[in-house]
Amino acid sequence: MSVVGTLGNKIVFEVSDKKALLLQSISRDSKGRWTTHTTLGEKPKSEFLGPDLQSVNLSIYLSSNLGVRPRSVLDAITSMVESGTAEYLIIGSRPVGKNRFKLVSASETWDKLYSHGELTKAKVSITLEEYI
């Protein structure tokens, strides 16, 4: 088994001959906080206030054909969002950023359902924000 990364201990991105929980894409935004002071007869003056909170967006593909139970993973993610969970995001063997990330939102798309409502394919997008 090859672990690609983790989001806390509940979500493990991994690839093996029996299971693949695939991280399709990741994007990270880093910003600074700025303010502008107006001055009479001159251009406004900019002032750097400090760094802003980083945000990360993850896109995850879930398929029962790859040994994953999509509904279980979606339920775990929803639980993390609704409970205010903050976790470290690890990709490879390195953390993304210096701090934990709170799960701000999750948006899921159910792609394939079988009889009795069994979900077999889905995608989920998670938005994380740095937690300090």
Return the half-sphere exposure (C-beta side, CA atoms, 13 A cut-off) of residue 109.
6
Give residue for tokens 């989001």.
7
- Between 122 and 22, the more confident residue is 122
pLDDT at position 41 over 90: yes
Q: CA-based Rg of the chain, rounded to a whole angstrom?
A: 19
pTM: 0.85
Spatial separation of the C-alpha atoms in residues 17 and 128, rounded to whole Å: 30
pLDDT at position 42 over 70: yes
Q: Label residue 22 by pLDDT band (50, 70, 90).
A: confident
Distances, alpha carbon 104 to alpha carbons 59, 109, 122, in Å: 14, 17, 20
Look over the chain and give the mean of its residue pLDDT values, rounded to a whole number.
94
Q: Label residue 72 by pLDDT band (50, 70, 90).
A: very high
- Between 116 and 106, the more confident residue is 106
Helical segments of the chain, H only: 70-82
What confidence tens digit (pLDDT) does each residue in 79-111 have? 999 999 999 999 998 999 999 999 999 999 999
Which residues make Cβ contacts (< 8 Å) with residue 25, sequence separation at least 6? 57, 58, 59
